[in-house]
Amino acid sequence: MSAYFKSTNLQGFAKWLKLHAQEETMHAMKIYDFIINRNWQISLLPIKAPEINWNSPIEIFTTAYQHEQQVTKMINDLAKLAIDNNDYATNIFLQWFITEQIEEEAVFNEILDKVKLIEGNYSALIFLDAELDKKTLISGNTQPT
């Protein structure tokens, strides 16, 4: 998604999505470290290659928002599994991610709403691009330790 925006010279969108991807990698490593610290087995499965062809910012942010909703569901499923198995430590650990997903969904939904509102208005798209270029962080929450 970031590469698409880079190729269309919307540098703010590209930067923002790249920062978001980096943040998501940090979140994944927190889960990885938690599993290692619990002395559990790590099993990494293949990840489907991301889409590279996009038709519009609306398509990108619709897909990204839907992805965040799927991530929320997966984290909630893990929390339920932890509760069902009386795994209090994992449940507590996952609470940060549950809260984080509320913010993630809200941020992507907000941008999706904005790109829908400005569809076809290239001046507004460039203005939003400039706004996203100013952002340095996606999350305002403290990273879990």
Q: How far apart are CA 92 and CA 79, in angstroms?
A: 9
**Smallest Cα–Cα separation from 145: which of 43, 31, 38, 39?**
31
Number of structural domains found in the chain: 1
- Residue range 40-96, pLDDT digits in tens: 999 989 988 888 899 999 999 999 999 999 999 999 999 999 999 999 999 999 999
> CATH number of the domain that 65 lies in?
1.20.1260.10
The better pLDDT of the pair 142, 31 is held by 31
Residue 53 lies in a domain: no
**Is 44 part of a structural domain of the chain?**
no
What is the rounded CA–CA span in Å between residue 85 and residue 77? 12
pTM score, whole prediction: 0.88
Instruction: Answer yes or no: is 79 within a domain.
Output: yes
- Identify whether 103 is part of a domain: yes
Long-range contacts of 128-132 (CB under 8 A, 24+ apart): 128/12, 128/13, 129/10, 129/11, 129/12, 129/13, 130/12, 131/12, 132/12, 132/13, 132/15, 132/16
Domain extent for 81? 2-39+58-134
141 falls within a domain: no
